[in-house]
Chain A
Amino acid sequence: MSIDLMVNGKRCRVETEARTTLLDCLRDALGLTGTHMGCEHGVCGVCTVLLDGVPIRSCLMFAVQADGYDITTIEGLAPGPGELSIIQDAFCETHGMQCGYCTPAMILTANALLANNPEPSREEIVEAISGNICRCTGYMQIVEAIALAAERLRGANRPVEVAQ
Chain B
Amino acid sequence: MVGQGRFAADVSLPNTKHIAFVTSPYPAARIVAIDKTSALALSGTHYVLDGRELADATLPLVSGLDTPNVVRRSLAVGAARYSGEWVAAVVADTRALAEDAAELVQIDYEPLPYVLDAETALSAGAPPVHAAHESNVLLDRTFVWGDVERDFAESPHRLAFRVKWGRSSTVPLETFTVTASFDPWRDILDVWASIQMPKFPDQIAVALKLQASSVRVHHDVDVGGSYGVKRGIKHAVLAGYLAKRLAVPIRLVEDRLENMRGGDAHGPERLFDVEIAFDGSGVIRSMKMQALDNVGAYAGRAPFQLGKPIGAIVGPYRIGSVQYRAIAVTTNKTVQDAVRGFGQAPTNYAIERAIEEVAARLSLDPLDVRRRNFIRAEQFPYTIPTGSSYDSGDYHAVVEKTLVRGDYVALLAEREKWRAEGLLAGIGIAACLEPSGGNAVFETLLNPQTTTTTWMESCRIIVDTTGGITATIHTNSSGQGHETLVATVVGEVLEVDPDRVRVVRPDSLSSLPGNSPVGSRMAIMLGGAAFHAAQKLKTKLIGIAAHDLGIPVDRAVYRAGEVNDRTDAKRLRTWNELVAIAHRHFHRLPPDTEPGLAVSHILQVPTGGTLPTPDGRVNMYPCFAFEFHLLLLTIDPELGKPEIRRYLVGHDCGTVINPKIVRGMTLGGIAHGIGAALLEEFAYNDEGQLIAQSLMDYLLPSSHEVPPVEIVGHVTPSPHTVLGQKGSGESGYLGAPAAIANGVNDALRPLGIKVDNLPIRIAALADMIAAARQTSA
- Which residues does A use to contact B, with CB under 8 Å? 17, 19-20, 27, 31-41, 43-44, 46, 73-75, 77-78, 84, 88, 91-92, 94-95, 97-104, 107, 126-127, 129-143
Q: Which residues 578-632 of B have a CB within 8 angstroms of A?
A: none
Assess whether B409 is interfacial by the CB under 8 Å rule: no
Contacts of B702 in A (CB 8 A): 130-131, 133
Q: Contact between A40 and B222 (Cβ–Cβ < 8 Å)?
A: no
Interface CB pairs A-B, < 8 A, 13: A20-B96, A34-B2, A36-B9, A38-B174, A73-B3, A88-B2, A95-B663, A97-B479, A101-B173, A102-B173, A129-B703, A134-B703, A135-B227
Interface stretch (choices B381-389, B460-468, B667-675): B667-675
Assess whether B413 is interfacial by the CB under 8 Å rule: no
Q: Contact between A138 and B704 (Cβ–Cβ < 8 Å)?
A: no
Q: Contact between A138 and B667 (Cβ–Cβ < 8 Å)?
A: yes
Q: Contact between A133 and B700 (Cβ–Cβ < 8 Å)?
A: yes
| Interface 0/1 of B465-486, CB less than 8 Å to A | 0000000000000111100000
Contacts of A142 in B (CB 8 A): 703
- Given the interface pairs A41-B696, A98-B479, the reply to whether A140 lies near B1 with Cβ below 8 Å is no
- Given the interface pairs A135-B173, A135-B672, A141-B663, the reply to whether A34 lies near B4 with Cβ below 8 Å is yes
Assess whether B695 is interfacial by the CB under 8 Å rule: yes
Contacts of B171 in A (CB 8 A): 135
Expressed in whole angstroms, the Cα–Cα distance for A73 and B4 within the complex equals 12
Assess whether B255 is interfacial by the CB under 8 Å rule: yes
Expressed in whole angstroms, the Cα–Cα distance for A104 and B2 within the complex equals 7
Assess whether B195 is interfacial by the CB under 8 Å rule: no
- Given the interface pairs A39-B694, A130-B702, A135-B173, the reply to whether A107 lies near B9 with Cβ below 8 Å is no
- Tally of B interface residues using CB under 8 Å: 51
Report whether over half of chain A's contact residues are helix, strand or loop; otherwise say mixed.
loop
Q: Contact between B703 and A74 (Cβ–Cβ < 8 Å)?
A: no
Please give me the residue from chain B that is nearest to A77 by CB atom. Answer: B2
Assess whether B750 is interfacial by the CB under 8 Å rule: no
Expressed in whole angstroms, the Cα–Cα distance for A127 and B663 within the complex equals 23
Expressed in whole angstroms, the Cα–Cα distance for A31 and B480 within the complex equals 27
Assess whether B113 is interfacial by the CB under 8 Å rule: no
Contacts of B480 in A (CB 8 A): 98
Expressed in whole angstroms, the Cα–Cα distance for A141 and B664 within the complex equals 7
- Given the interface pairs A38-B174, A74-B2, the reply to whether A138 lies near B479 with Cβ below 8 Å is no
Expressed in whole angstroms, the Cα–Cα distance for A101 and B478 within the complex equals 9
Contacts of A107 in B (CB 8 A): 1
Assess whether B369 is interfacial by the CB under 8 Å rule: no
Assess whether B422 is interfacial by the CB under 8 Å rule: no
Q: Contact between A138 and B671 (Cβ–Cβ < 8 Å)?
A: yes
Assess whether B256 is interfacial by the CB under 8 Å rule: yes
Q: Please pick, from B225, B255, B661, B732, the residue contacting A135 in the complex, using a CB distance under 8 A.
A: B225
Contacts of B256 in A (CB 8 A): 38-41
Contacts of A126 in B (CB 8 A): 703-704
- Given the interface pairs A38-B174, A40-B256, the reply to whether A98 lies near B664 with Cβ below 8 Å is yes
Contacts of B104 in A (CB 8 A): none
B308 to chain A, nearest CB (A): 22
Q: Please pick, from A46, A92, A127, A136, the residue contacting B1 in the complex, using a CB distance under 8 A.
A: A92
Assess whether B5 is interfacial by the CB under 8 Å rule: yes
Instruction: Select the residue from A27, A35, A99, A130 with max chain B CB neighbours within 10 A.
Output: A99
User: Given A39-B694, A84-B1, A129-B703, list of 5 further CB < 8 A pairs?
Assistant: A38-B175, A44-B695, A133-B702, A135-B672, A140-B667
Q: Contact between A99 and B664 (Cβ–Cβ < 8 Å)?
A: no
Please give me the residue from chain A that is nearest to B1 by CB atom. Answer: A88
Q: Contact between A137 and B700 (Cβ–Cβ < 8 Å)?
A: no
Q: Contact between A75 and B3 (Cβ–Cβ < 8 Å)?
A: yes
Q: Please pick, from A44, A77, A139, the residue contacting B173 in the complex, using a CB distance under 8 A.
A: A44
Contacts of B671 in A (CB 8 A): 135, 137-139
